[in-house]
Amino acid sequence: MNLTVRRSIRSHVLLTLFSLVMIYPVLWWVGAAFKSNDEMSSPSLFPTHWLWSNFTEGWTAIPKYTFTHFYMNTFELIAGVLITSVLSCSLVAFGFARLDFPLKNFWFSILMVTLMLPTQVTLVPQYIMFNAWGWVNTYLPFYVPHALAGGIGGPFFIFLLVQFIRGLPKDLDESAKMDGCSWFGIYWRIILPLTKPALVTVMIYCFLWNWDDFFGHLLYINSVDKYTVGLALKLFVDSQSALPWGQLLAMSLVSVVPSLILFFMAQKHFVDGIASGAVKG
């Protein structure tokens, strides 16, 4: 056995060991979703008796509501966020990539600076403003910022789309102008359809980040009737009774299913959007 083969075997063994270490918490999580409370402290990775009832009981564990209601709330919130974010960010990106206006480079530099601005910096003033407007306990604090290209990931989405649009031939714009098309018509009829790979990437990021945005949902949503899936999991914690760990972990396992399905279904578009944006930029 030559030196190259030995190094390859050694590398694969080490990578396998590290992979097992990394995936162990996930395997424990999956196994614990089927355990009873008595087995949670057991060192075994998987339960001796698989409790499938954790899923059915956990689904209806919240009084007056099932997780179907919380899923519908979450999809309602994210659907509005996706639509407003895609339209606003693509429109702003089109302006930066195709139009000439005063201080264009300055404003684009300001946009890039906001990429490094932590969301915690604007958290307090945003909450005070939305509370004064009576938007707390509604979905408007999520819809309106995204409609103005300022929601979660807005500057990043604009930057990604700008890089993609700059790679499209400007001859398309000139041809459309000769046919009497306005700038908005060029954006809507030509640029927007051609940016499909980048738009799919934006939608995937937007979905995942807003699906996982527990803190934002906790801050602005107060009533259980409007709770999202992440907030509904918090309702399992009751200081007056024993925590049903099996049901909680079962529902948390179910909560990641939409994200996994979306990622694997759109993985090709996700990679194409990132790669094409990087190359063309």
Categorize the per-residue pLDDT at 96 as very low, low, confident or very high, splitting at 50, 70 and 90.
Answer: very high
Confidence at 272, pLDDT banded by 50, 70, 90 = low
| pLDDT tens string 130-178 | 999 999 999 999 999 999 887 888 899 999 999 899 988 888 888 888 8
The secondary structure of residue 189, as a DSSP letter, is I
Which domains occur in the chain, in start order?
3-58 (no CATH), 64-280 (1.10.3720.10)
Q: Compare 115 and 3 and report the one with higher pLDDT.
A: 115
* Cβ 223 vs Cβ 69: under 8 Å: no
Instruction: Tell which wins on pLDDT, 39 or 226.
Output: 226
Q: 134: left (phi > 0), else alpha (psi -120 to 50), else beta?
A: left
Whole-number percent of the chain with pLDDT over 90:
46
pLDDT tens string 215-245? 999 999 999 999 999 999 988 886 556 788 8
Q: Give residue-wise pLDDT tens across range 176-187.
A: 888 888 889 999
CA separation, residue 136 to residues 75, 158, 219 (Å): 19, 27, 8
Residue 116 CA, distance from chain mean position: 19
Per-residue pLDDT for 277 more than 70? no
Q: Is the pLDDT of residue 206 over 70?
A: yes
71: which 2 tokens? 């899923």
pLDDT over 70 (residue 88): yes
How confident is the model at residue 241, as a pLDDT?
62
Q: Residue 25: which pLDDT band, with cuts at 50, 70 and 90? A: confident
The token duo for 235 is 């309702």
44 pLDDT above the threshold of 90 = no
Contacts of 219 (CB under 8 A, 6+ apart): 123, 127
What share of the chain in percent tops pLDDT 70? 94
pLDDT tier, 281 (very low <50, low <70, confident <90, very high otherwise): very low
